[in-house]
Amino acid sequence: MDNFKFWSPTEFIFGKNTVKHVGALIKKYGGTKVLVHYGSQFAVKSGLLAEVKNYLRDEFIDYVTLGGVQPNPVDTLVYKGIELCRKENVNFILAVGGGSVIDSAKAIAAGVPYAGDFWNFFDGKVTINRSLPVATVLTIPAAGSEGSPNTVITKEEGALKRGHGSPLLRPVFSIMDPVLTFTLPASQTANGIADMMAHVMERYFTQTSGVEVTDRLCEAVLLAIIKEAPVVLREPENYDSRANIMWAGTIAHNGICGVGREEDWATHGLEHELSALYNVAHGAGLAVMFPAWMQYVYTSGIDRFVQFAIRVWGIEDTGNKKETALKGIQALKDFFSSLGLPVNFEQLGAKKDDIDQLICKLKINSGGALGNFRRLDMADARAIFEIAAKS
Amino acid sequence: MDNFKFWSPTEFIFGKNTVKHVGALIKKYGGTKVLVHYGSQFAVKSGLLAEVKNYLRDEFIDYVTLGGVQPNPVDTLVYKGIELCRKENVNFILAVGGGSVIDSAKAIAAGVPYAGDFWNFFDGKVTINRSLPVATVLTIPAAGSEGSPNTVITKEEGALKRGHGSPLLRPVFSIMDPVLTFTLPASQTANGIADMMAHVMERYFTQTSGVEVTDRLCEAVLLAIIKEAPVVLREPENYDSRANIMWAGTIAHNGICGVGREEDWATHGLEHELSALYNVAHGAGLAVMFPAWMQYVYTSGIDRFVQFAIRVWGIEDTGNKKETALKGIQALKDFFSSLGLPVNFEQLGAKKDDIDQLICKLKINSGGALGNFRRLDMADARAIFEIAAKS
């Protein structure tokens, strides 16, 4: 087990009718002038935004709003948000939405007190050392951004999709009402499930040994998702199943599934190129790339893949490691398919002919190498894209 | 799934050679005058206390010390600590030790800014609304107090053992170096393991349905402990196993294993009477009382006991629920025995003839009823003590 720090200070307010606490919570965390940041669809149409505004007014909290966040949130809106916050003397950012809205809110929060160009954080030139507090009202269980220190933003010019993280970006509170997810379309629900499973698996596949607690926690989250995912797709208004999926998404990415070990994150790197180029959902891209990555790397640590097959998928241990490992990978792929997720380029709408372009961007964004379970160069990355293209 | 709040703001600094960060961390959390609180054995003899003092001096942090905490920490030392802190204008409490030291430190921290008698908190008369910050250097993985909001103190007069909790008592940081646990005697190691397993099981056995994520997390922690416990007893200096046990103890009690459900805690209530009367180790008492409680209540929610047997102990599902449930309970009992833990009154040094006295105290401390999985009155409690006495 490696040394680690674990700090997850976010206050999670989970359950039915919890949005009503939003005003009191903002007060508790010192917010007096709030930017309410939201997406382009759900928050307005559902009435959630109006509800949030009412709760703020009830507590006499002043606010401005900025909507229009799209999936794969872009730098241009972040700049707009930073400018608005400075002009209006905003001291608290409330994200009402899913991962894209929260990520955009985090970038704004870090950008407001920073004199330079916020993109410097994502370029790796500067570390965040101040931020406005961020909080969330979560509407899509997927990215885990409601409990994570991370944000991913796409620079429109050049379609550069980059992630950054800082403990300062962990939300001070997150309100999570599973009822808000009842109306999520099946495809978005499934994409979210692929995303949270990927967050666990990026941490599960490690060469660090002797971290049994973390292994078991990863497996626990995956097992719960595997049980509940078909239920939420079949019964979108099943409260308990929606609640389990929502909470699983948070645990998957608040860090607890990764402590004491080197994490991988190659698949996220590979996928970011797909969603940047085709503007496909991140979760859908992950459903395509994870099995492909596994097929390429499993021999570099076959015992871990055997454990994954046996403990997560209930594959019988025949003693033939290769066979067991491959059955586990196939089980994951079949599971994604059963949720209606794409598992190859064709189903995703990606093209084999674009692999050169994907590799070109990946080289810029990754610096030419990615992953830790097996360190991948661009030839490896190309091979994995090719597996995804033909499988 | 029930609504819940989850907030675990403690910064965990985990791994080899992490004690050296103690001074910088206290500074970060605003401590300028520290009470270093410790036990009667390990901290001094091992040189840890001297080391901690050096790190404080390196950062020019002033401190006073108060040692002598015994297992089942008592109110008299808490009063002494409160007086000392007030006299010396202490603004930060550092516990160097295991659960007893940390619990004593928490009670002092809450008592210093409170004008009345600190026992009022434990009497349930007053809620804690201010506290000095507490931090820990953990030396015994067991109680989980390093990441929990709880403290248990025994009032010497009348041997009343009572617990209390407040979010304000969650440590601001906890330094956890598994190497510090290499020299723990086998019995203390085993007691700690029983304690952390009990913390999970008090949360696992619930009548609240539809909380699969929490179920799986509970099972994950138990499975990891079941794997690592025999290893640490066989190889006390196995770093990875010690590390897994140490981290399991934290996860078992920081709250994550209980979210979204009603917890039970009857067994803790029953056990507190044993450790108060005989001054036996809490973990040892739990190893005796948990299987007895299970035997008495399992028919009140047999499906959960079947799940426990199958998922945690790998018992084959024969379809005969009663048989499967009982096999799971027996597996737990056998496991405790294999670790050298007592599983009945005789092995613990408790006497059947004292049951009247145990019940008399329990009635005072519990108000005549305890538990949630099955609500127990004093006749039930007596029956459970009798099972423990004869088994």
Q: Same domain, yes or no, for B126 and B270?
A: no
pLDDT at B13 over 80: yes
Residue B72: band (very low, low, confident or very high) from pLDDT cuts 50, 70, 90: confident
What CATH number should be reported for the domain holding residue B157?
3.40.50.1970
Q: Which of these, B194, B105, B104, lies nearest to B142 by C-alpha position?
A: B194
- Check whether residue A20 and residue A169 sit in a common domain: yes
Do the chains contact at B13 and A5, CB–CB below 8 Å?
yes
Mutation target among B212, B217, B254 for the A interface, most CBs of A within 10 A:
B212
B216 and A221 within 8 Å at the Cβ level: the answer is yes
Amino acid A161: pLDDT: 84
Query: Cα–chain-centroid distance for residue B113?
Result: 25
User: Residue B54 corresponds to which amino acid?
Assistant: N
Q: Would you state the pLDDT for residue A60? A: 97
**Percentage of chain B modeled with pLDDT above 90:** 95
Residues A26, A102, A239: CA angle, nearest 5 degrees: 85
At position B306, the amino acid (one-letter code) is V
Are B71 and B144 within one domain?
yes
Partners of A229 on chain B (C-beta within 8 Å) are: none
Contacts of B11 in chain A (CB under 8 A): 5-7
β-pair partners for B12: A6, B174
Phi, psi of B164 (to 5 degrees): -150, 155
A217 φ, ψ to 5°? -65, -45
Q: Tell me the C-alpha distance between A93 and A37, whole Å.
A: 7
Question: Do both B25 and B154 map to the same domain?
Answer: yes
Å between B227 CA and nearest CA of chain A: 8
Q: What share of chain B is helix, strand, coil (3-state, %, to 5)?
A: 55, 15, 30
**A7: closest chain B residue by CA:** B11
Distance from CA of B1 to the nearest CA of A (A): 6
Residue A207 dihedral angles phi and psi, to the nearest 5°:
-95, -5
Q: Which domain holds residue B241?
A: 186-390
Strand order across the A4-14 sheet? A62-69, A33-39, A92-97, A134-138, A173-176, A4-14, B4-14, B173-176, B134-138, B92-97, B33-39, B62-69
Q: What was the pLDDT predicted at A226?
A: 98
Judged by CB atoms closer than 8 Å, whether chains meet at A6 and B12 is answered as yes
Domain check: are B70 and B173 in the same one? Answer: yes
pLDDT for the residue numbered B300:
98
Query: Of B180, B195, B213, which closes a domain?
Result: B180
CB-nearest to A213 from B15, B219, B248 is B248
pLDDT score of A369 more than 80 = yes
SS3 A164: strand
Q: In the structure encoding, which two tokens stand for residue A137, read together?
A: 């009202």
Give the confidence band of B161 by pLDDT, cuts at 50, 70, 90. confident
pLDDT given at position B107: 98
- Residue A109 has a pLDDT of 98
Q: Are A128 and A166 in contact (CB under 8 A)?
A: yes
Q: Give per-residue burial for B86-118: e unless 16+ CB within 10 Å, then b.
A: eeeebbbbbbbbbbbbbbbbbbbbbbbebeeeb
User: Does residue B159 have a pLDDT over 90?
Assistant: no
Burial zone of A221 (CB within 10 Å; 0-12 exposed, 13-18 middle, 19+ buried)? buried
- One domain, residues A245 and A360: yes
**Residue tagged 């294999």 (tokens):** B338
Beta-carbon separation of B217 and A251 below 8 A: yes
Check whether B35 has a pLDDT greater than 90: yes
Distant-in-sequence, close-in-space partners of B173: CB < 8 Å, separation ≥ 6: B10, B11, B12, B13, B25, B29, B135, B136
Q: pLDDT tens for residues B176-187? A: 999 999 999 999
Q: Which residues of B touch A28 (CB under 8 A)?
A: none
- How many domains does chain A divide into? 2
Look at residue A197 and tell me if it is in a domain. Answer: yes
Output the DSSP codes for B322-338.
Answer: HHHHHHHHHHHHHHHHH
| Overall average pLDDT of the B288-314 stretch | 98
Does any domain span residue A1?
A: no
Does residue A158 share a domain with residue A96? yes
Predicted confidence band at A192 (pLDDT cuts at 50, 70, 90)? very high
Q: Kindly determine whether residue A14 and residue B7, on different chains, have CB atoms separated by under 8 Å.
A: no
Does residue A18 sit in the same domain as residue A159? yes
Residue B41 has pLDDT above 90, yes or no: no
Q: Which of A13, A19, A42 is nearest to A183 (CA)?
A: A42
In a domain, B6, yes or no: no
- Which residues of chain A lie closer than 8 angstroms to B199, CB-CB? none
Range name among A249-253, A274-278, B105-109, B323-327 with the lowest pLDDT average? A274-278
The per-residue pLDDT for B40 is: 78
Is residue B5 situated within a structural domain? no
CA distance B311 to B212: 12
How far apart are the CA of B252 and the nearest CA of chain A, in angstroms?
Answer: 11
- The residue whose two tokens read 């409330």 is A94
- What are the residues of chain A with a beta carbon less than 8 Å away from any beta carbon of chain B? 1-16, 18, 209-213, 215-217, 219-221, 223-224, 227-228, 239-241, 243-244, 247-248, 251, 256, 259-260
Residue B300, number of CB atoms within 10 A of its CB: 14
| The domain boundary residue, chosen from B157, B180, B203 | B180
**Would B349 be classed as within a structural domain?**
yes
Q: Nearest CB to A12: which of B6, B13, B244?
A: B6
- Answer whether residue A5 is part of any domain: no
Distance from CA of B191 to the nearest CA of A (A): 19
Q: What is the pLDDT of residues B77-114, one digit of tens each?
A: 999 999 999 999 999 999 999 999 999 999 999 999 99
Residue A102 and residue A223 in one domain: no
A188-217 average pLDDT score: 98
- For residue B74, how many C-alpha atoms fall within 13 Å in the half-sphere facing its CB? 15
pLDDT category, A229, cuts 50, 70, 90? Answer: very high
Q: How high is the pLDDT of residue B42? A: 87
Within 8 A of A257 by CB-CB distance, chain B residues are none
Let me know if residue A4 belongs to a domain: no
B192-229 in b/e form (b: 16+ CB < 10 A) is: bbbbbbbbbbbbbbbeeebbbbbbbbbbbbbbbbbebb
Question: What is the per-residue pLDDT across A146-157, written as a single tens digit (0 to 9) for each?
Answer: 999 999 999 999
Residues B192 and B97 grouped into a single domain: no
Q: How far away is chain A from the Cα of B273, in angstroms, using its nearest Cα?
A: 32
Q: Does residue B131 belong to any structural domain of this protein?
A: yes
Among A119, A151, A180, the domain boundary falls at A180
How far A177 CA sits from the closest chain B CA (Å)?
9
What is the Cα–Cα distance from B202 to B195, expressed in whole angstroms?
10
d(CA B150, CA B254): 10
B359-to-A307, B198, B273, B329, B344 alpha-carbon distances in Å: 48, 21, 8, 24, 17
Domain co-membership, A345 together with A225:
yes
DSSP string, A281-341: -HHHHHHHHHHHHHHHHGGGGHHHHHHIIIIIH-----S-HHHHHHHHHHHHHHHHHHTT-
Tens digit of each residue's pLDDT (9 = 90 or more) over A99-118: 999 999 999 999 999 999 99
Residues of B in contact with A14 (CB under 8 A): 3-6, 259-260
The pLDDT assigned to A42 comes to 87
Q: Are B78 and B153 in contact (CB under 8 A)?
A: yes
Q: Report pLDDT digits (tens) over B137-158.
A: 999 999 999 999 999 999 999 8
Picking from B284, B208, B38, the residue whose alpha carbon sits closest to that of residue B138 is B38
CB contact under 8 A, A209 and B14: no
Q: Are residues A155 and A188 in the same domain?
A: no
**Least CB–CB distance from B5: residue in A8, A11, A259:** A11
Least confident of A101-105, B273-277, B321-325: B273-277
Cα(A206)–Cα(A297) distance, integer angstroms: 11
Residues of A in contact with B240 (CB under 8 A): 1, 209-211
Residues from chain A that touch B247, judged by Cβ atoms under 8 A, are 213, 259-260
Chain B positions touching chain A (beta carbons under 8 Å): 1-16, 18, 209-213, 215-217, 219-221, 223-224, 227-228, 239-241, 243-244, 247-248, 251, 256, 259-260
Residue B245: closest C-alpha in chain A: A213
* End-to-end Cα separation, chain A, in angstroms: 36
Residue B391 in this model has a pLDDT that exceeds 80: no
ipTM: 0.96
Mean pLDDT of B237-244: 98
- The CATH code of the domain that includes A256 is 1.20.1090.10
Residue A72 confidence class, pLDDT cut points 50, 70, 90: confident
Give B363→chain A minimum CA distance, Å: 35
Cβ–Cβ pairs < 8 A, chains A and B: 127
